[in-house]
Protein backbone atom coordinates (compact mmCIF):
# COMPACT_ATOMS: atom_id res chain seq x y z
CA UNK A 1 0.00 0.00 0.00
CA UNK A 2 1.27 3.50 -0.85
CA UNK A 3 2.28 5.79 1.99
CA UNK A 4 -0.33 8.40 1.04
CA UNK A 5 -3.08 5.76 1.18
CA UNK A 6 -1.93 4.75 4.66
CA UNK A 7 -1.89 8.42 5.70
CA UNK A 8 -5.46 8.93 4.52
CA UNK A 9 -6.70 5.86 6.40
CA UNK A 10 -4.77 6.43 9.62
CA UNK A 11 -5.37 10.19 9.81
CA UNK A 12 -9.08 9.53 9.29
CA UNK A 13 -9.10 6.86 12.02
CA UNK A 14 -7.37 9.25 14.43
CA UNK A 15 -10.04 11.94 14.11
CA UNK A 16 -12.29 9.98 16.50
CA UNK A 17 -9.70 10.56 19.20
CA UNK A 18 -11.41 13.79 20.27
CA UNK A 19 -8.51 15.79 21.61
CA UNK A 20 -9.03 18.90 19.53
CA UNK A 21 -11.61 20.63 17.39
CA UNK A 22 -9.92 20.90 14.03
CA UNK A 23 -8.85 17.44 12.90
CA UNK A 24 -10.86 15.86 10.10
CA UNK A 25 -12.31 19.13 8.82
CA UNK A 26 -12.55 19.89 5.11
CA UNK A 27 -13.18 23.30 3.58
CA UNK A 28 -12.84 24.19 -0.10
CA UNK A 29 -11.37 27.53 -1.02
CA UNK A 30 -13.73 30.20 -2.36
CA UNK A 31 -12.90 32.26 -5.46
CA UNK A 32 -11.83 35.25 -3.36
CA UNK A 33 -10.17 33.27 -0.57
CA UNK A 34 -6.79 31.73 0.06
CA UNK A 35 -6.12 28.05 0.79
CA UNK A 36 -8.12 24.87 1.22
CA UNK A 37 -8.80 23.05 4.44
CA UNK A 38 -8.27 19.32 3.93
CA UNK A 39 -8.43 16.07 5.85
CA UNK A 40 -4.72 15.43 6.11
CA UNK A 41 -4.34 14.52 9.76
CA UNK A 42 -3.20 17.91 11.02
CA UNK A 43 -4.87 19.16 14.19
CA UNK A 44 -4.23 21.95 16.65
CA UNK A 45 -3.42 21.89 20.29
CA UNK A 46 -1.87 24.20 22.86
CA UNK A 47 1.65 24.17 24.16
CA UNK A 48 2.58 24.62 27.83
CA UNK A 49 3.27 28.29 27.06
CA UNK A 50 -0.28 28.79 25.66
CA UNK A 51 0.70 28.86 21.99
CA UNK A 52 -1.52 27.14 19.42
CA UNK A 53 0.51 24.46 17.65
CA UNK A 54 -0.12 22.22 14.63
CA UNK A 55 0.33 18.50 15.11
CA UNK A 56 0.41 15.56 12.75
CA UNK A 57 -2.30 13.45 14.37
CA UNK A 58 -2.32 9.85 13.22
CA UNK A 59 -2.70 6.30 14.40
CA UNK A 60 0.18 3.91 13.97
CA UNK A 61 -2.40 1.29 13.09
CA UNK A 62 -6.15 0.80 12.97
CA UNK A 63 -5.78 -3.02 12.79
CA UNK A 64 -7.08 -3.74 16.28
CA UNK A 65 -7.25 -7.17 17.88
CA UNK A 66 -9.98 -5.99 20.25
CA UNK A 67 -13.65 -5.43 19.59
CA UNK A 68 -14.79 -2.51 21.75
CA UNK A 69 -18.35 -1.92 20.59
CA UNK A 70 -18.14 1.90 20.58
CA UNK A 71 -14.98 2.07 18.48
CA UNK A 72 -14.65 2.60 14.72
CA UNK A 73 -11.45 0.51 14.73
CA UNK A 74 -12.94 -2.58 16.42
CA UNK A 75 -11.93 -5.79 14.67
CA UNK A 76 -15.52 -6.68 13.72
CA UNK A 77 -16.03 -3.39 11.85
CA UNK A 78 -15.72 -3.28 8.07
CA UNK A 79 -13.27 -0.40 7.46
CA UNK A 80 -10.09 -0.02 5.42
CA UNK A 81 -7.08 -1.11 7.47
CA UNK A 82 -3.49 0.07 7.48
CA UNK A 83 -0.39 0.05 9.65
CA UNK A 84 2.61 2.36 9.51
CA UNK A 85 6.07 1.08 10.29
CA UNK A 86 7.98 3.10 12.91
CA UNK A 87 10.35 4.27 10.16
CA UNK A 88 7.46 5.49 7.99
CA UNK A 89 6.02 7.58 10.82
CA UNK A 90 9.40 9.03 11.73
CA UNK A 91 10.17 9.96 8.12
CA UNK A 92 6.70 11.40 7.54
CA UNK A 93 6.95 13.52 10.67
CA UNK A 94 10.34 14.90 9.73
CA UNK A 95 9.26 15.63 6.16
CA UNK A 96 6.12 17.45 7.34
CA UNK A 97 8.15 19.35 9.93
CA UNK A 98 10.77 20.46 7.42
CA UNK A 99 8.00 21.74 5.13
CA UNK A 100 6.58 23.72 8.04
CA UNK A 101 3.23 21.84 7.92
CA UNK A 102 3.45 20.79 11.57
CA UNK A 103 5.25 21.56 14.79
CA UNK A 104 4.85 18.17 16.45
CA UNK A 105 3.45 14.65 16.39
CA UNK A 106 0.34 13.33 18.16
CA UNK A 107 0.63 9.56 17.92
CA UNK A 108 -1.75 6.89 19.11
CA UNK A 109 -2.66 3.39 17.92
CA UNK A 110 -5.09 0.55 17.93
CA UNK A 111 -3.76 -2.65 19.49
CA UNK A 112 -1.67 -4.57 16.95
CA UNK A 113 -1.15 -8.22 17.97
CA UNK A 114 -1.04 -7.38 21.73
CA UNK A 115 -0.48 -4.30 23.95
CA UNK A 116 3.22 -5.01 24.56
CA UNK A 117 3.97 -5.39 20.86
CA UNK A 118 2.07 -2.16 20.13
CA UNK A 119 3.98 -0.23 22.77
CA UNK A 120 7.27 -1.57 21.44
CA UNK A 121 6.40 -0.25 17.97
CA UNK A 122 5.38 3.14 19.40
CA UNK A 123 8.57 3.26 21.41
CA UNK A 124 10.64 2.40 18.34
CA UNK A 125 9.04 5.31 16.49
CA UNK A 126 9.81 7.73 19.30
CA UNK A 127 13.33 6.37 19.57
CA UNK A 128 14.02 7.01 15.87
CA UNK A 129 12.61 10.52 16.11
CA UNK A 130 14.36 11.46 19.35
CA UNK A 131 17.71 9.74 18.95
CA UNK A 132 18.27 9.57 15.21
CA UNK A 133 16.54 12.76 14.06
CA UNK A 134 16.96 14.67 17.36
CA UNK A 135 13.29 15.65 17.11
CA UNK A 136 11.87 16.98 20.38
CA UNK A 137 8.25 17.83 19.61
CA UNK A 138 6.24 14.72 20.45
CA UNK A 139 2.80 14.37 22.01
CA UNK A 140 1.10 11.04 22.70
CA UNK A 141 -1.87 9.47 24.41
S1 LIG B 1 -8.63 -1.35 21.95
FE2 LIG B 1 -8.79 0.81 21.34
S3 LIG B 1 -8.63 0.82 19.10
FE4 LIG B 1 -9.05 -1.29 19.72
S5 LIG B 1 -11.29 -1.51 19.54
FE6 LIG B 1 -10.83 -0.94 21.69
S7 LIG B 1 -10.96 1.33 21.76
FE8 LIG B 1 -10.80 0.69 19.58
| Per-residue pLDDT tens over the stretch 20-67 | 545 555 667 777 777 666 655 777 777 778 888 888 999 999 999 999
Q: Is the pLDDT of residue 18 over 90?
A: no
pLDDT > 90: what percent of the chain? 56
pLDDT for position 31:
76
Higher pLDDT, 48 or 106: 106
Ligand 1 closest atom vs CA 67: 5
- Mind giving me the DSSP string for 11-53? HHHHTTS-S-SSTT--BPPPTTS---B--SSEEEEE-TTS-EE
| Average pLDDT score over residue span 97-126 | 95
Q: Please give the model's pTM, rounded to 2 decimal places.
A: 0.82
Closest C-alpha residue for ligand 1 atom 2: 110
| Average pLDDT score over residue span 69-90 | 96
CA of 62 to the centre of ligand 1 (A): 9
CA of 87 to the centre of ligand 1 (A): 23
Q: Is 137 in the pocket of ligand 1 (CB under 6 A)?
A: no
Q: Residue 1 — pLDDT band, cuts 50, 70, 90?
A: confident
CA of 74 to the centre of ligand 1 (A): 6
SS3 assignment, position 54:
strand
Amino acid sequence: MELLDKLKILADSAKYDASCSSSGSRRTNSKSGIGNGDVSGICHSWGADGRCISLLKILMSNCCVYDCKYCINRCSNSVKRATFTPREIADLTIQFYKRNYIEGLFLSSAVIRNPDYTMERLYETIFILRKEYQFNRLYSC
